[in-house]
Amino acid sequence: MTAEQHGTRQDAERATHRGTDVLIRKVDGHLAALRLGLRGADLELAERVGACLRVLVLDTAQASAADRAQVRAAVHYFVLRREGRGPLVPVRSLAAAQHLVNRVVLQLGRPDLLIGSTSD
């Protein structure tokens, strides 16, 4: 491997690490905000969705661009629930985020990460 190839590889690894860090921070920041307003089963579901997303972000850091894009979209869907943005913008439920994340989990071949209902 030439020095130029080695440098390019290191740059790619740093960019991947930065992207992973950003997604993890988004999930953690959103969970911190949810902890202020949610209680009980809703908070438990939010925590489980967040934990699943963290695992997916880390596990797909070196995966294909398509797999990373699916996980990134799931993170954005979870984080951008749009609560309190006025009557014209619908609120996305945690159940909808759970459903989307479960779809991504299955598409990535990780049924071990499926998020069950709080009554499980």
DSSP letter at 111 equals G
For 93-116, what is each residue's pLDDT tens digit? 899 999 999 999 999 999 999 999
Residue ranges per domain, the chain? 3-113
Is pLDDT at 17 greater than 80 in this prediction? no
Mean local confidence (pLDDT), 8-31: 77
What is the full DSSP assignment across 26-61?
A: HHHHHHHHHHHH--HHHHHHHHHHHHHHHHHHHHTT
Residue 120 confidence (pLDDT) above 50: no
| Rounded (10°) angle between helices 40-59 and 3-37 | 180
Res. 60: pLDDT tops 70: yes
Backbone angles phi, psi at 80, to 5 degrees: -100, 55
